[in-house]
Amino acid sequence: MIAMGYEAGGHRGLFLSDQLHTQVGTFALVPQVVDAVKIPVIAAGGIADGRGVAAAFVLGASAVQVGTAYLFCPQASVSALHRQALLDATDSQTALTNIFTGRPARGIVNRIMREAGPISALAPAFPLAGGALMPLRAIAEKQHSSDFTNLWAGQAVGIKHQLDATELTRQLAENALKILSPR
């Protein structure tokens, strides 16, 4: 079972759009889920370094799902605009938005999110929102602008690893083991 917290980038494993302020963060959610189920729990959301991996294991997770940290890797198939937005972003520059798909997803705040509000009652419902925004997005991207592009990223976007995916995986494991191993 995946216990995905509020910090996670992109669409989470739920599409609740009401009362977003009541959704729970990863490190509050994981121990509650671990206590409630008898199957392995995978922690997800806001985990981007060995400290986060170790914390998830201490809280009872059997594994972790890391997303945003891998977007910095050369193997990630993100556009040049998305990659630059990731490099420029800080952890306080993400928000949940329904503008791009009609369902809440976390991304880097850009022009359309600022001007329309990240959560907008005017956003077309899923699945219509993506198609409604596509012409504007295409024009902007041709002009090398990400003002109308979904730039999915989690709150841990400020922890930047510009490493090969294999090296990032190795570092996540090694750093977590250093924290968890008795001295």
Q: Residue 14: its pLDDT value, please?
A: 67
Alpha-carbon gap, residue 23 to 151, rounded angstroms: 21
Superfamily of domain 2-180: Aldolase class I (3.20.20.70)
Q: How confident is the model at residue 18 (pLDDT cuts 50, 70, 90)?
A: low
H-run or E-run covering 60? none
Question: Domain coordinates of the chain in residue numbers?
Answer: 2-180
pLDDT, tens digit, for every residue of 106-157?
Answer: 999 999 999 999 999 999 998 899 999 999 999 999 999 999 999 999 999 9
pLDDT, tens digit, for every residue of 40-82?
Answer: 999 999 999 999 999 999 999 999 999 999 999 999 999 999 9
Q: What are phi and psi of 36, to 5 degrees?
A: -90, -20
pLDDT, tens digit, for every residue of 97-106?
Answer: 999 999 999 9
- How big is the chain by its Cα radius of gyration, in Å? 17
Longest dimension (CA), the chain: 57
